[in-house]
Each structure stands twice: as C-alpha cells, then as structure tokens.
C-alpha cells in the first residue's frame, strides 16, 4: 500500500435493511466496513446514511 493511506468509499443507503445487507456482502468479500450517519448541513434535522468500506482490516478514523 503506497504511503500507508487507506481511502474509504461510500455508498448512500437510506433503508436499514439494505445497509445491513451491504455490510454483510462487503465484509464477506474482505472489506472493512462501517455504517455512517451524518447531517447534510448543520441546520438540517434529517440524516444521510452511508455504508463506508475500504480494503484491509486496519481501523480508520
């Protein structure tokens, strides 16, 4: 891995069941995975949900 930098990719997914299925599929194929929730902007009351994944098992912040 050049430079030791791990870059995560994101898939936006609103339904919890779909996010769970994505996590299982990606993890079974060797990716480290986490679910992320964030506000699109500071004044918003809604959240955007993502499945974030990267190759390898190193913890990512």
Whether the pLDDT of residue 60 is over 90: the answer is no
pLDDT value at residue 18: 97
Q: What is the pTM of this model?
A: 0.77
Whether the pLDDT of residue 56 is over 80: the answer is no
C-beta separation of 25 from 33 below 8 A: no
How many residues in the chain?
A: 61
C-beta separation of 33 from 24 below 8 A: no
C-beta separation of 50 from 11 below 8 A: yes
- The residue ranges of every structural domain in the chain are 8-55
State phi, psi for 19 to the nearest 5 degrees: -60, -45
Handedness of CA 51, 54, 55, 61 (dihedral sign): negative
Give residue-wise pLDDT tens across range 7-44.
899 999 999 999 999 999 999 999 999 999 999 999 99
């Amino acid at each position: 891995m050049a430079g030791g930098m791990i870059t995560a990719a994101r898939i936006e997914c609103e339904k919890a069941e779909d996010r769970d299925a994505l996590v299982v599929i990606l993890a079974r194929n060797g990716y480290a995975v986490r679910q992320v929730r964030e506000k699109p902007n500071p004044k918003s009351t809604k959240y955007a949900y993502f499945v974030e994944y990267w190759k390898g098992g190193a913890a990512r912040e």
